Amino acid sequence: MKIVSPRLCLAVVLLLSSVMPALAGQATQVLSASVDQVILLLANPAYKDTATRPELRKKVIKTIEAIFDTRELSRRALGAQWNNFSPDQQNRFVAAFGTLLQNTYLDKIESYTDEKVRYLSEDDLGGGKTEIATKVVGKDKEIPITYRLVDHDGWRVYDVIIEGVSLVQNYRSQFGQILMNESPDVLIAKISAKKS
Amino acid sequence: MPMTTTRKFLFSLVLLIGVLAFTDAHAGMESQDDSSPSAPTVINGKPAVSGEVATAPVPDPLYGWNKFWFTFNDVFYSRLMRPLAKGYVVIMPKKARTGLANIYNNFTFPIRFLNSLLQLNFVKASREFGRFFINSTFGMAGLMDLAKSDPNLQPGNEDFGQTLGHYGMTEGFYIVWPFLGPSNLRDTIGMAGDAAANPLTWIFGPWSAHDDYNPWYWSYIIKAGDTFNRLPETLDEYDAITKPAIEPYTAMKDAYIQYRRNAVAH
């Protein structure tokens, strides 16, 4: 009977205990890196200046585009209707919806001044998906925001849930409503008209 | 005596709903869900949550009525009252508005306390009681929410609609009330229950009709006052849902339904 060296055991245990926490928080690390970057850009005094703002805004948009999986978001927002769209319609929908989400998100976060984001927990949902609970803590308000991320090639957000209201589900009910009476092209036109 | 009022209210409510059920309704609005099979309730050992699967559609047989009152409320609150709310923010400092809201919230402690008890959630009930005790005494009759600084005494929000949901009552159809906003059948009954637990109803009830000191209408005036006091924040939440929406009516309906389902579950 082989006797495993206690020193080896200890070494393995120590190694695992130092690696596991890092693995468990991987998605949180990816998310927090993007969020922190956005906050940093927004806190930059040059952001207030209308001259230097467009440049910084482009950087913020780039960061948002990197962390949000727009295609996945769009697919889920259409639900079963996604398959009724032609590939061209799908692409146009993703572009239009992505712009709408960007503008909505930008409007919201640009109104933030000195809020801090706290990362509360990360739960594995199975199937390469995870859920991260965060809290945006401001001067006199706290907003719990939950992100759902999927790991296709890198963790990216595919849903945002506030007070139990899922963004994807909300848009899905709206789009489902519209598609009952209108064609996909009309829906895409409505979304494109909205962003302006 | 007090039960007569509630019973009368409930009876007229049932009558109203019965009448409404026969009104013009868009049959097509009943099921807006995509053609997924019936939503599973468990995925990978975890309970299915909204957004992951198509949630069961909530019937909207009162679409005509709902759409009308949604538009009405939108015009009333978002157009007419919004300038007043903006002016209110200017003349009343945030601390004063928060103070007023705190007083009212503290006063309506029985609603949250009783419903926590009814749901046999003694942790929540004791939390409500702790908040009430600290804020009423050291917080000067609720003016200051001192309890908030304790992480174990954060504000809760139980109501009778959630209690009914806790015991298995389904939400029923979606209904929009004038001024009161979105609701559903179960939560409307919940509103009646909350009115019964609201101390205002007992202090200023119709039995005080002959009492010069506690006229019946003060209960409504105070409730309306609280609604106006919180209007700036309510409008912010309303904008958060409707501004980015392609279909504001559906966005509001879906947000309300998801929000309440989450509240009942927690």
* A180 chain-B contacts, CB cut-off 8 A: 28, 32
**Mutation choice for A interface testing from B149, B171, B247, B252 by most A CBs within 10 A:** B247
pLDDT-based confidence at residue A17 (cuts at 50, 70, 90): low
**Beta-strand pair A142-151/A155-162:** antiparallel
Nearest-5° angle of CA B15, CA B157, CA B57?
55
| Exposure string over B187-226, b if 16+ CB within 10 A, otherwise e | bbbbbbbbbbbbebbeebbeebeeeeeeeeeebeebbeeb
Q: Rg of chain A's alpha carbons, rounded to an integer?
A: 21
| Tokens 């482009």, residue located | A58
Q: Is A165 close to B52, i.e. CB distance below 8 A?
A: no
Which residue stretches of chain B have pLDDT < 70?
1-4, 6-57, 206-214
pLDDT the model gives residue B29: 38
Evaluate whether A173 touches A179 at the Cβ level (below 8 Å).
no
Evaluate whether A184 touches A78 at the Cβ level (below 8 Å).
no
* B98 chain-A contacts, CB cut-off 8 A: 140
Q: Which residues pair with A12 in a beta bridge?
A: none
Q: Is B246 close to A190, i.e. CB distance below 8 A?
A: yes
| Residue B59 vs residue A38, higher pLDDT | A38
The total number of residues shown for chain B amounts to 266
Evaluate whether A45 touches A39 at the Cβ level (below 8 Å).
no
**Around Cβ A27, how many Cβ atoms within 10 Å?**
24
Residue among A125, A148, A177 minimizing CB distance to B250 = A177
pLDDT the model gives residue A153: 86
Residue A9 buriedness (CB in 10 A; 0-12 / 13-18 / 19+) = exposed
| Residue A142 vs residue A186, higher pLDDT | A186
For chain A, what percent of residues have pLDDT higher than 90?
A: 46
- B83 Cβ contact partners less than 8 Å away, ≥ 6 residues apart: none
pLDDT at A10 over 90: no
Q: What is the DSSP letter of B50?
A: B
pLDDT at A104 over 90: no
Whole-angstrom distance, CA of residue B98 vs CA of residue A113 = 20
**Mutation choice for A interface testing from B44, B258, B261 by most A CBs within 10 A:** B258
pLDDT the model gives residue B33: 38
Distance of residue A175 Cα from the nearest chain B Cα, in angstroms? 8
Q: What is the DSSP letter of A2?
A: P
Evaluate whether B230 touches B101 at the Cβ level (below 8 Å).
yes
pLDDT-based confidence at residue A83 (cuts at 50, 70, 90): very high
* B49 chain-A contacts, CB cut-off 8 A: 161, 166
Q: Which residues pair with A118 in a beta bridge?
A: A135
User: And the tokens for B262?
Assistant: 């989450």
Whole-angstrom distance, CA of residue A177 vs CA of residue B145 = 43
The total number of residues shown for chain A amounts to 196
| Residue A23 vs residue B165, higher pLDDT | B165
Residue among B35, B94, B98 minimizing CB distance to A80 = B35
pLDDT the model gives residue A1: 53
Question: Model pTM?
Answer: 0.80
Distance of residue B243 Cα from the nearest chain A Cα, in angstroms? 9
Interface list for B 197-256 with A (CB within 8 A) = 240-241, 243-247, 250-251, 253-255
- B42 Cβ contact partners less than 8 Å away, ≥ 6 residues apart: B48
**What is the longest distance spanned by two Cα atoms in chain A?**
75
Whole-angstrom distance, CA of residue B164 vs CA of residue B189 = 9
| Tokens 């970057």, residue located | A37
pLDDT-based confidence at residue A191 (cuts at 50, 70, 90): very high
Q: Hey, CA dihedral for B42, B48, B53, B59, is it positive or negative?
A: positive
CA dist A138 → A35, A117, B14, B178 (Å): 15, 9, 44, 33
